[in-house]
Amino acid sequence: MQALKLRIQGQVQGVGYRRWFEQQALDLGLKGYVKNLSSGDVEAVILGSELNVNHMLQLSLAGPAHANVTSIEQTELKLDDAGFADFKMIRD
């Protein structure tokens, strides 16, 4: 089990990035969340198998068609899945 907190930077708001991210995470069976930040970045926490978390990280770099990801800051978290029943998009 691996957990990462991501800060996704670039043109990632107003382009469907959160909805796209949520669908990819659900398809991979990940738990956690994705949300917009007031800075214009997107924050996500992803929890799952190391293989699926790493795959999601790679997908995140590409993003949906209209996004332009310039960088992703990642922090490894010490979490178990007790706090996350599923994956959700947090709306502001």
DSSP letter assigned to residue 37: -
Query: Could you confirm whether 18 is annotated as catalytic?
Result: yes
What 3-state class would DSSP assign to 61? helix
How many Å apart are CA 89 and CA 50, to the nearest integer?
21
- Among candidate residues 7, 18, 52, 68, the one labeled active-site is 18
State pLDDT tens for residues 2-33. Answer: 999 999 999 999 999 999 999 999 999 999 99
State pLDDT tens for residues 32-74. Answer: 999 999 999 999 999 999 999 999 999 999 999 999 999 999 9
CB 32 within 8 A of CB 44: yes
Which of the four pLDDT bands, split at 50, 70 and 90, describes residue 78? confident
In order of their start, the domains of the chain are 2-80 (3.30.70.100)
- Among candidate residues 36, 52, 68, 91, the one labeled active-site is 36
Query: What are residue 29's phi and psi, to 5 degrees?
Result: 70, 25
Query: Could you confirm whether 68 is annotated as catalytic?
Result: no
pLDDT for 82 equals: 52
